Structure 1
Amino acid sequence: MGRADTGGMPDLVPPMQAATGDLPTGPGWAVEFAWDGLRAVAYARPGRVRLLTARDRSVTSAFPELHVLAGKAPRRGVILDGTVVALDDAGVPSRRLLMRRTATQRPSATLVADVPVGFFVSDLLWLDGEATTALPYRRRRELVDDLGLAEQPVVLSPSWPANDAGHVLATARRYGLDGVYAKRLDSAYQPGRRSRNWLRVPLRQSRQVVVGGWTPASPERPDTVAALLLGVPGPAGLRCVGRVGIGAGAPRAAVTALLPDLGTGEPAFAGEVPAGVARDARWAVPRLVGQVEFTEWTAGGRLRLPVWRGLVAPEDVEDGLWDDVFADDGHSDDGHWDDRRWDDGVAVEGHPVDLDGPGEPPAPAAAPPAPAPAAEPPAAAAPQVQARRLEQHFVYNSLNTIASLVRTDPGRARELLLGFADLTRAADRPTDDTITLRDELDSVRAYLQLEQARFGKRLTAAVSSAPGIDDVAVTPLEVLAQVRAVVQEVVEPRPEGGAVTVAAAADGEHCVVTITETATGRTWAVRPAAATLR
């Protein structure tokens, strides 16, 4: 540990680092999500907070909303290991949004409001005058869980026993995370050290890449293809992210037939290509797009262990491939952002970053407003239907609720965890997509179950549908948006809570979903725009 401040609390505790490995089997381990964000250690005392990255860079002023930790700290301070996370419209950690926040050390009030962040706490290093690093991980988690920190924008990252690892892995995949952590329950916190008592277990990811060249099987056969050179578009052009072998058979034949006609004497990559690769490389005009699977991004911005999955037809190329200019910069080998690769307002290679340019996705479209409720006088307004976004406070509340249930009701916590992941996947669907009414009502059930776990006896809910309409096509989240509005604006403000029923039925050639808040007798009807009975 570093030197202590005047109150005895050390002013620097280098964070412990994880080794990469496979998921352990057997008891004695806990499993957590590997949050995609900026690793940071928070030093909090009443009235004061300091945030340092894993490289000891101060980001205190960059995240003013995290100063709430000063109001939660005991008199002699607390030191917390965690991750600063920015969530996208689907409630999933977003590297691009976090890059917007880290582009300046003093964000404007508008930027803070547009791109809020949270602090996802995973460990406790100091508590009220005493170091906790020598305590076993199991005890440190118990202490941090009992601190009462679980309130927006602070999240207690759920920690699961090893026998629930299957559920955690399944949820991480559904939620779009690229790994999990496995931690020995009896292990001490080892500041500044990399230890196999902490393992980062990467999940395989898939993405589209651009082919910018190839290395031949031998110098005597320059048109043969041994490996493809892969790139990802960035602010300066095509950035080389590695190479991948394509094996024999049909995949090799498909590429070999196309590449020679695309040969060029100039490299397509804007940045540096390793000398050992460039020496034998044959360059190609970057017109071919392929799909690869890989485990994670390395500290150098390369794909780790890529596997070629074939060419992508032009009509199937994702628009996001060309917009994803920041997605992979600054990623360290332990799964967190590496602050060494950031400079305020400047990209990794010194090229200016246009944070408000066309690379940003459009704001999600708002769901159509519900008709005025028949049970109310004409002057009464229905709850305001909000945009598709899963609000940060809902995501934080859900994760904190799940974390608290792991110790008291692990079965229910598992159920809620999977429902939460499914809900975020539903929120990530394109606005012009359609799903079945069955899937939409499953999202409604998942949402209501999470809110019931948080509200306790203050909320009761039921969801039903008439026979024969489950396969009707509806717009994603159209019904869910109105249910959320009723819960948040009608039920939540009342101390006694309320009861919500959701019932779908046929209405001529269409279907109607009726939402009733039984305590007040108010009713809202949603007629899904895409729903037509045949």
Structure 2
Amino acid sequence: MPDLVPPMLPATGELADATDPARWAVEFGWEGHRCVAYVRRGRVRLLSSTARSVTGSFPELAVLAEQAPPGGLVLDGTVVALDEAGRPSRGPLLRRTATLTPDAALRAEVPIGYVVTDLLWCDGRRVLELPYRRRRAELEKLALAGPAILVPPSFGLDEAELVVRTAEQYGLDGLHLKRLDVPYQPGRRTRNWLRVPLRRRRQVLLAGWVPAPGRPDRIAAVLLALPGPEGPRYVGRVGIGAADADARTILAAPSGPPPSAVPDGVAEHARWLAPGLAAAVEHRGRTAAGRLALPSWRGLVPDDERDDDLLDMPAAGGSQGGGPVSPDPVRDTGTRARDEARSRPRADAGAEARSRADAEPRSRAGADVHSRADAGARSRTGTDARSGAGPAGTDAAPVPAAGPEQPGTWHGPLSRRLEQHFVYNTLNTIASLVRTDPPRARELLLGFADLSRAADRAEEPTIRLDEELAAVRAYLQIEGTRFGARLSAEIDDPAAAGVDPGAAVPPLSVLAAVRRGVQEEIEPVPGGGAVHVRLVTDPGGPSCRIEIRPADAVRDPFVLFSVPLDVPEGL
């Protein structure tokens, strides 16, 4: 077994550089710490891309030694840490790499995983001279995938569009194109392996602009903002190039207050604008400070073309100064589903709706229990789900009602505890299906993209009911692959239940409760069980209930969670 294999390095490229489907594979790019793992029975040695030992920083990866064949393994891969939405993020990973010996508290707070992307040595044999197609097949046969180990899916070039869409919605900043017919090339940067950066698209608010030096009537950069819990929040700056018509519109806009979180160096020279203008930009993700990375200007957006997350902000109206706006704005790839729903009534996301979401579950939970008493239903909505206690006999994080006191944060403990396991399990499952059941793999990947998009909206005050149910449906579809016949699920159709699909719920509230029911109430039961997302109307108003029916005969069905639905005014 070799002591050192310098890692192969990718060149920068584009999807168009790969033209022959028989010779290329497309895979996700993972942001993290590139490492080569030298694995023997009872020992794992991790070397960075510069041959520095980082073994002590990631003690969790000692699990690889339990799976090594007698002749050992050499694996190429990336150590990653996931944020609360389950996306690879450099921020939490820096906390791990800052110490050589992380204590138990840090390991629990910032779990890491190893994304295995190539096999270089296997059980006494050099395999790096084999073409990538064969190396990949041997890697999959090793069955290394587990809670801390991800063997991500590898797709044919004909699935590139699907992989791009998923990567954009999941929050990855790039893809990899790999030649299937070439050997591993240690230490070389080669165009047999291309890294394709992804540009994400979204709409932003125009918060202000910075004048060019010595030219107060010229725009050096436009200052951007996004809606936040307490109003617009600064997310970066962008040049507008030769967009003269857009520049005239911005210069003519009335002045207003600055957004929050503006750095001192920016605020010093800024000219702030009243809320009203929106624009489309492309970017390469978000920085640790929440700024848009490398944004580029794609034009002003007409008021009637705004994305849903900007609709609650004031429209430009007559404040555009008569200047034209972009007739063909670039749309955020993460809002396609919301585009289709724009003609439907929107839910009231005001203070009255949020206070109702906070107060009514407590009073209506009792009504839910009494209304089902004759049917023998046992409810946990009143005390366990909202007072801080988990299900009987567990120490699980509760699923409390969301309210103004804790906007967008109440589901955090559940996500942090389960997300890495769920993400790895999902992607490992998809990887195993790519060869055996490609249609099913595609279906699950689309569902995973929907879940990723939903996780992006966790900090919003409310979300449409139909969008929340789409995320729940995707989650149950993924878990159904793992559980098989042990899990049955039913989700009521809002139209059939007489409930408005645009009713407002706290984002991820139903999803978190369903996850809790599946993973803590159904999975431990040998026979599994059923979950029913039931939409009901009663004198107190419509609500969404999560009913759990364990398969064991000693337990009755019960209502795990109930959340009121805030219906748009006028319906």
TM-score category of the 2 structures, normalised to the smaller one = 0.7 to 0.9
- Partners of 2:46 and 2:207 in 1: CA distance: 38
Distance 1:522 1:483, change over 3 A: farther
Q: Which amino acid aligns with 1:183?
A: K
Q: Which amino acid aligns with 1:14?
A: P
Question: Is the contact made by 2:210 and 2:219 (CA closer than 8 Å) also made in structure 1?
Answer: no
- Partners of 2:283 and 2:426 in 1: CA distance: 30
1:528 corresponds to which residue?
563
Q: Which amino acid aligns with 1:79?
A: V
Question: Is residue 468 from structure 1 mapped to residue 520 from structure 2 by the alignment?
Answer: no
What is the 5 A alignment of 1:101-500? Answer: 101-205=96-200, 222=215, 225=218, 228=221, 244=239, 246-253=241-248, 285-286=269-270, 292-294=281-283, 306-307=296-297, 309=299, 375=376, 381=391, 384=396, 385=398, 387-388=411-412, 389=415, 391-431=419-459, 433-465=461-493, 466-471=496-501, 472-500=503-531
1:11 corresponds to which residue?
4
1:22 corresponds to which residue?
15
Deviation at 1:422, TM superposition (A): 1.1
- Partners of 1:455 and 1:252 in 2: CA distance: 56
Q: Report SS of the residue matched to 1:527.
A: strand
- Partners of 1:406 and 1:155 in 2: CA distance: 15
**Larger helix fraction of residues:** 2
Question: Is the contact made by 1:15 and 1:41 (CA closer than 8 Å) also made in structure 2?
Answer: no
Question: Is the contact made by 2:542 and 2:564 (CA closer than 8 Å) also made in structure 1?
Answer: no
Deviation at 1:256, TM superposition (A): 6.2
TM-score normalised by the chain length of structure 1: 0.72
- Partners of 2:108 and 2:529 in 1: CA distance: 31
- CA deviations on 1:132-165 (whole Å, 9 max, x unpaired) are 1111111111111111111010011111111111
Q: Report SS of the residue matched to 2:136.
A: helix
Percent of aligned pairs sharing the same letter: 47
Deviation at 1:421, TM superposition (A): 1.7
Q: Bigger CA drift: 414-423 or 480-489?
A: 480-489
- Partners of 1:432 and 1:180 in 2: CA distance: 29
5+ residue gaps, structure 2: 226-235, 254-262, 274-278, 302-308, 311-357, 385-390, 400-410
Q: Report SS of the residue matched to 2:269.
A: strand
- CA deviations on 1:7-38 (whole Å, 9 max, x unpaired) are x3333333333333334234121111111222
2:538 corresponds to which residue?
507
Q: Which amino acid aligns with 2:548?
A: T
1:280 corresponds to which residue?
none
Deviation at 1:57, TM superposition (A): 2.4
- Partners of 1:437 and 1:211 in 2: CA distance: 34
Question: Is the contact made by 1:41 and 1:54 (CA closer than 8 Å) also made in structure 2?
Answer: yes
Q: Which amino acid aligns with 1:427?
A: A
1:69 counterpart (58, 64, 72) = 64
- CA deviations on 1:313-365 (whole Å, 9 max, x unpaired) are xx98xxxxxxxxxxxxxxxxxxxxxxxxxxxxxxxxxxxxxxxxxxxxxxxx9
Question: Is the contact made by 1:292 and 1:310 (CA closer than 8 Å) also made in structure 2?
Answer: no
Question: Is the contact made by 2:140 and 2:151 (CA closer than 8 Å) also made in structure 1?
Answer: yes
Distance 1:527 1:14, change over 3 A: closer
Q: Which amino acid aligns with 1:515?
A: E
1:321 corresponds to which residue?
none
- Partners of 1:242 and 1:441 in 2: CA distance: 35
- CA deviations on 1:86-144 (whole Å, 9 max, x unpaired) are 11111111221112222222212111101111111111111111221111111111111
Deviation at 1:532, TM superposition (A): 4.8
- CA deviations on 1:420-449 (whole Å, 9 max, x unpaired) are 121122123234522222222222211111
Distance 1:476 1:147, change over 3 A: same
Distance 1:191 1:517, change over 3 A: same
- Partners of 2:247 and 2:460 in 1: CA distance: 36
- Partners of 1:403 and 1:50 in 2: CA distance: 26
Deviation at 1:228, TM superposition (A): 4.0
Deviation at 1:505, TM superposition (A): 2.3
- Partners of 1:296 and 1:481 in 2: CA distance: 25
Q: Bigger CA drift: 416-425 or 489-498?
A: 489-498
Question: Is residue 517 from structure 1 mapped to residue 549 from structure 2 by the alignment?
Answer: yes
- Partners of 1:443 and 1:242 in 2: CA distance: 32
Deviation at 1:415, TM superposition (A): 1.0
- Partners of 1:30 and 1:84 in 2: CA distance: 22
1:86 corresponds to which residue?
81
- Partners of 2:531 and 2:35 in 1: CA distance: 41
Question: Is the contact made by 1:76 and 1:128 (CA closer than 8 Å) also made in structure 2?
Answer: yes
- Partners of 2:192 and 2:548 in 1: CA distance: 51
Q: Which amino acid aligns with 2:562?
A: R
Q: Report SS of the residue matched to 1:522.
A: coil
- Partners of 2:268 and 2:546 in 1: CA distance: 58
Q: Report SS of the residue matched to 1:411.
A: helix
Q: Bigger CA drift: 16-25 or 408-417?
A: 16-25
Q: Which amino acid aligns with 1:468?
A: G
Deviation at 1:169, TM superposition (A): 0.7
RMSD (Å), alpha carbons: 4.2
- Partners of 1:416 and 1:80 in 2: CA distance: 27
1:347 corresponds to which residue?
none
Q: Which amino acid aligns with 2:181?
A: D
5+ residue gaps, structure 1: 1-7, 233-240, 259-267, 272-282, 317-364
Deviation at 1:310, TM superposition (A): 6.2
TM-score normalised by the chain length of structure 2: 0.68
Name the count of aligned residue pairs: 450
- Partners of 2:208 and 2:51 in 1: CA distance: 38
Deviation at 1:479, TM superposition (A): 2.0
